Amino acid sequence: MFSRRRFAAGCVALIAAPTARARGAGETDSFALVGSLEQGGWALGQVPVGTSSLRVDDRLIPFAADGRFPVGFDRDAARGARLEAVLPDGRSVRADLAIMPRQWNLSRLNRLPKYPVPSAEFAARRPAELAQIASAREKQTAAQGWRQPFRWPAIGRISTLFGAQRIYSGEPGAYHSGIDLALPTGTPVHAPADGVVILAAEAPFMLEGNLLMLDHGMGLSSAFLHLSRIDVRTGDAVSQGQLIGAVGATGRATGPHLHWGLMWRGARIDPLLVAGSMPRL
């Protein structure tokens, strides 16, 4: 037996934030969720009281002692997602989420891109760089930034949106996995939320340049690319708003900009849906 609840797509606030008020009668036995139910979106949830395990689309997901958890929906997420809590008496509580598909900024080009021939240096260095990124993503920290309203790491003109993609003669290229802010080299970059540094590149990576990655806890992490300078070291705990580095054009970049990517357990999240619209310049 299970109880089931449906959540409509795209809603920004589905149920008042669980921490904002006491739960009403009848609510204890169901999920509460606040966020953006759309591709690239994310939400903060609260498990039903007494939940012993939580699954998102059949994947076991940890939740905090107070029952809260973040959940993200990949850029290419399916139209539905399912939350399932198992209670100590064996009952399960399910919530079916409708995930709104989005229109991405696609540019169609009639020619294949002229990929530069990978250099011997690229071939030699890239595997170790990818291994560093992969091992950083595996780090789980006790950071609590996932609970906070995120701030923009820098304020500037958005030059490339999350999810943008080029189609070359019908062949889709990789989509843009973060958001780009056009800013001069040296512009300070601040932590968008509390976190722990899981990667601070000691030398520029071939593509990402000076790469800084923060874990915000519960599977949510940020990556900042192309930095001219990194001001923190791997293992450092950083607070929201703390200076962590500066904008640059290191790695593969046509000009100085900040690329900010967000990921939740492998799902690519749109920073615009987490940090909100860019404040007026």
CB of 93 vs Zn ion, minimal distance in Å: 39
With contacts defined by CB under 5 A, name the span among 7-15, 86-94, 148-156, 180-188 that binds Zn ion. Answer: 180-188
Within 10 angstroms of residue 98's Cβ, the number of other Cβ atoms is: 15
Does position 215 bind Zn ion by CB under 5 A? no
Binding residues for Zn ion restricted to 228-257, rule: CB under 5 A: none
CB of residue 41 to Zn ion, shortest distance in Å: 19
Nearest CB to Zn ion, comparing residues 196 and 212:
212
Residue 180 as a binder of Zn ion (CB under 5 A): the answer is yes
Measured from the CB atom, the residue of 17 and 130 that comes closer to Zn ion is 130
> Interacting stretch for Zn ion, rule CB under 5 A, among 8-16, 103-111, 172-180, 190-198?
172-180
Nearer to Zn ion, 162 or 264 (CB): 162
Q: Give the residue at shortest CB distance from Zn ion.
A: 259
Residue type, 84: E
Cβ-proximal residues to 56 (8 Å cutoff; 6+ apart), any chain: 71, 81, 82, 83, 84
> Between 82 and 252, whose beta carbon lies closer to Zn ion?
252
Give me the least distance between CB of 252 and Zn ion, in Å please.
10
CB of residue 179 to Zn ion, shortest distance in Å: 7
Nearer to Zn ion, 110 or 254 (CB): 254
Asked if residue 270 binds Zn ion (CB under 5 A), the reply is no
Contacts for 82 with CB less than 8 Å, ≥ 6 apart? 55, 56, 57, 58, 94, 95, 96, 97
Bridge partners (DSSP) listed for residue 3: 93
Token look-up 């007026």 returns: 280
Phi, psi (rounded to 5 degrees) for 128: -70, -35
User: Judged by CB, which is closer to Zn ion: 180, or 215?
Assistant: 180
Report CA-CA distances (Å) from 202 to 130, 164, 212, 271: 14, 30, 10, 25
Distance CA 149, CA 147 (A): 7
Considering the rule CB under 5 A, would residue 259 count as an interface residue with Zn ion? yes
Spatial separation of the C-alpha atoms in residues 235 and 225, rounded to whole Å:
18
What residue ranges bind Zn ion (CB under 5 A)?
A: 180, 259
